[in-house]
């Protein structure tokens, strides 16, 4: 049976003198950009008629948004779907007609008009509103700040552990692994909006931008 010699034991000790810690950083910021999905859903027995109705209403919504000041390049079709619909009677499938769904995603730089954008869409025929999402043009810069906070958090944890077990910590980590970012926006999904409302109140709130890391530090015994 192999018995490790003194040199092997020393090398093993050095390899095991590692403190592993996770660090987290979080920063709250004000959003400066929003997106909202406005949809036009039409139904008809005839496919061509359903498509024509949908196209007329969708163009009306788009033109109204452009008149409101939204750049046409910030209005994008994100879904267009044609579905046959059926009723079921006595176990039989009876064709009812077609449903056309056209979803527009609208990017908004002026957060003060979000409610007006929604109202304008609904007033001009949009009958589906969902996924009001807030973000920031500078989220990458904010994430870098959160990442620095995560590294500092990991360093402080390692120092606390080293002080508690009375060892000397090498302050430079031997390994740092970024564990990914999380941006948690205020989100409002499938909200019901009604025509005739003077201004739909939508509050942007704050964005929580998070970063996390896993790190490893070497340490040595105070007595050698």
Q: Is residue 204 located within the same domain as residue 110?
A: no
As a whole number of angstroms, the distance between CA 106 and CA 113 comes to 12
pLDDT of 194 reads 42
As a whole number of angstroms, the distance between CA 69 and CA 59 comes to 16
pLDDT of 105 reads 97
User: Is the distance from CB of 214 to CB of 22 less than 8 angstroms?
Assistant: yes
Q: Is residue 38 located within the same domain as residue 102?
A: yes
Greatest extent of the chain over all pairs of C-alpha atoms, in Å = 87
CATH at 181: 3.30.110.170
User: Is the distance from CB of 149 to CB of 34 less than 8 angstroms?
Assistant: no
Which element (helix H / strand E) includes 75?
Answer: strand 75-89
Q: Is residue 127 located within the same domain as residue 169?
A: no
Q: Is residue 12 part of a domain?
A: no
pLDDT of 206 reads 84
Beta-bridge partners for 42 = 100
Read off the pLDDT of each residue in 74-86 and give the average, rounded to a whole number.
95
| Residue numbers of the domain that contains 195 | 18-30+138-221
CATH at 93: 3.30.70.2970
Q: Is residue 99 part of a domain?
A: yes
Q: Is residue 181 located within the same domain as residue 145?
A: yes
Q: What percent of the chain has pLDDT over 70?
A: 83
pLDDT of 184 reads 66
Q: Is residue 59 located within the same domain as residue 95?
A: yes
pLDDT of 131 reads 87
Q: Is residue 205 located within the same domain as residue 183?
A: yes
Q: Is residue 131 located within the same domain as residue 176?
A: no
Domain boundary, last residue among 117, 135, 153: 135
Tens-digit pLDDT profile for residues 112-166: 899 999 999 999 999 999 988 898 999 999 999 999 999 999 999 999 999 999 9
Q: What percent of the chain has pLDDT over 90?
A: 68
Q: Is residue 41 located within the same domain as residue 121?
A: yes
Beta-bridge partners for 103 = 39, 79
pLDDT of 92 reads 87
Q: Is residue 37 located within the same domain as residue 126?
A: yes
């Amino acid at each position: 049976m192999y018995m490790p010699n003194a040199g092997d034991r020393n090398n093993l000790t050095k390899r095991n003198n590692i403190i592993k810690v996770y660090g987290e950083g979080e920063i709250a910021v004000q959003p400066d950009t929003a997106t909202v999905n406005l949809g036009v859903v039409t139904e008809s027995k005839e496919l061509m008629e359903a498509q024509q109705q949908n196209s007329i209403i969708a163009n009306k919504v788009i033109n109204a948004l452009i008149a409101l000041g939204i750049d046409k390049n910030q209005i994008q079709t994100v879904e267009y779907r044609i579905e046959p619909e059926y009723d079921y009677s006595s176990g039989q499938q009876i064709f009812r007609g077609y449903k056309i769904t056209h979803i527009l995603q609208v990017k908004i730089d002026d957060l003060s008009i979000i409610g007006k954008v929604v109202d304008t869409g609904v007033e001009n025929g949009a009958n589906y509103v969902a996924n009001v999402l807030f973000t920031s043009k500078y989220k990458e810069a904010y994430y870098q700040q959160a990442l620095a906070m995560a590294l500092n958090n990991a360093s402080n944890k390692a120092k606390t552990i080293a002080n508690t077990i009375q060892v000397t910590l090498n302050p430079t980590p031997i390994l740092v692994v970024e564990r990914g970012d999380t941006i948690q926006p205020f989100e409002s999904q499938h909200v019901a909006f009604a025509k005739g409302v003077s201004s739909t109140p939508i509050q942007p709130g704050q964005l929580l931008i998070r970063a996390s890391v896993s790190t490893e530090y070497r340490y040595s015994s105070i007595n050698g």
